[in-house]
Homo-oligomer: A and B are copies of this chain.
Amino acid sequence: MLKDEVRTNSYKNAIYQNAHLFKDKVVLDVGCGTSILSMFAVKAGAKHVIGVDMSTIIEKAREIVEVNGMSDKITLLQGKMEEVTLPVDKVDIIISEWMGYFLLYESMLDTVLLARDKYLAPGGLIFPDKAHIYMAAIEDGDYKEEKIGFWNNVYGFNFAPLQKTALAEPLVDTVEMKAIVTDPGLIFSIDLYTVTPAELAFSVPFSLSITRNDFVHALISWFDIEFTACHKPIRFSTGPHAKYTHWKQTVFYLQDVLTVNRGETIVGNITSKPTEKNRRDLDVRIDYRLEAEDPHRSTEGCCEYKM
């Protein structure tokens, strides 16, 4: 994760370029991992940083903080956010790198919101504080054949049951810009100051305008992240138009292939909600309808995915 330069440099810039916000402040790093964000905050002038992580990585984080001479500035606590005892009642700033694939898969956002409600002082800041999910449609015939068609004949056998599974599993992969056949559509935005955990289960419409005559094999999704508290706002994107990040893009293959013409629209609805078994897993459902000039090409369908 540290090797994802887009990610880490965005946090670094957001913190270093806004030392005036961090000076003498108490900062909480939710899911601190190796403590890199905590150390950024100390270097930006924070009075004290508290890092919390469930993982045993916290032991390594302690060693790292020690060799960087920051043990007196950073307190590292291993445990769940709802169970650890913080050495302060309130914090001035929450920093966290909580984003998962498709923004919300295996994300720690619930934990950040819990920390916000319990510990953030009135007027306190959250880094980052905005997230936006986008969609587009892609032509992906070759790769879909390789990923999905493969199961039609596996060393002479019919593996259709695994084909069904493969279709229901969104693929995290790098999508080339040239594969995109629609304008991007913003489908969901999150304001970390106000969003509630319940609102992270969403069902929203989308409308994607076709930009060229082509075929559509899949819908894709990505997200942008904003640090709006910064003097000069900092934003990074995990979209196909932006520099590579480890989040890549998320590909939802459709059962059918759509034949689309420039100027037409794919409309639909996307629902995403935590699964009942595990709040960090997601059930995603996409309903779509192609409104084509030639009614013979018009089609609709729905696909369900498990992440």
Contacts and interface: CB of A to CB of B under 8 A. Distances in A.
A60 B162 contact: yes
Interface string A3-39: 1000011001000000000000000000000101001
Contacts of A9: 155
Contact of A150 (B3, B64, B156, B160): B3
B158 A60 contact: no
Contacts of A36: 154-155, 157
Interface in A21-63: 34, 36, 39-40, 43, 60, 63
A64 B158 contact: yes
Contacts of A198: none
A4 to B, nearest CB: 11
Interface string A277-295: 0000000000000000000
A157 B60 contact: no
Interface in A141-175: 150, 154-162, 165
Interface residues of A, number: 26
Nearest to A40: B155
A66 to B, nearest CB: 8
A68 interface: yes
A2 interface: yes
A67 interface: yes
A213 B40 CA distance: 44
Contacts of A67: 158, 160-161
B155 A8 contact: yes
B12 A64 contact: no
A161 B154 CA distance: 45
B12 A155 contact: yes
Interface of A: 2-3, 8-9, 12, 34, 36, 39-40, 43, 60, 63-64, 67-68, 150, 154-162, 165
List 10 A-B pairs, minimum CB-CB distance, nearest first. Answer: A63-B161, A67-B158, A60-B161, A68-B157, A64-B161, A39-B157, A68-B158, A67-B160, A2-B154, A64-B159
16 contacts: A2-B154, A2-B159, A9-B155, A34-B159, A40-B155, A60-B161, A60-B162, A60-B165, A64-B157, A64-B158, A64-B159, A64-B162, A67-B158, A67-B161, A68-B157, A68-B158
